[in-house]
Amino acid sequence: MDDLKTFCCQNPQCPDYGRRGLDNLRVCFRNGPHKERRVLACRTCQKRFAERKGTALYRCKLPDQKALAVLQHLQESCGVRQTGRLVGVNKDTVVRLALVAGQHAQDFHDERVAFSPADPRSAVRCEVVVRGQEGEALPARRSLGR
């Protein structure tokens, strides 16, 4: 039996969209090179989706370990070519994964910040404008004589 409590329906029109642990998902079938990836179906809306949908690895054809190795090398400040050489993938694959993961992280951050409460202890932001007096010329720079 597969544990599906960490997954939720990915259909925005479904009443159970985004709600985990409702026991409304089932495994339809498995796909991938070794039948390791599950395709889930919602019992409420009858829609099917891959278990990777909604993640940075959605539609990534690399094995999980290799894709995570690419992202870990990038996290450790390895370059694109160096990461591709160390992990054994094309540099274009490294760039594609970096862009997808970066966009996913940005979307996740924006979602979390939108729902986070304001911190009353945070610094107050104010706009600072520097103005010179009208008609006053700025002093000329001195040459260091070099």
CB atoms within 10 A of CB 45: 16
Give the rounded percent of residues in the chain with a pLDDT score beyond 90.
38
Answer yes or no: is pLDDT of 116 > 80.
no
List the end-to-end C-alpha distance of the chain, in Å, as a whole number. Answer: 79
> Which pair of structure tokens corresponds to residue 131?
């103005």
* Region of poorest pLDDT, from 22-26, 52-56, 72-76: 52-56
Give the pLDDT confidence score for residue 115 in this predicted structure. Answer: 74
Question: 2 in helix, strand or coil?
Answer: coil
Q: What is the pLDDT of residue 81?
A: 96
Determine the Cα–Cα distance for residues 40 and 48; give it in Å rounded to an integer. Answer: 6
The whole-number pLDDT of residue 132 equals 54
79-97 confidence digits (pLDDT tens): 999 999 999 999 999 999 9
Q: What is the mean pLDDT of residues 93-109?
A: 91
What is the model's pTM? 0.64
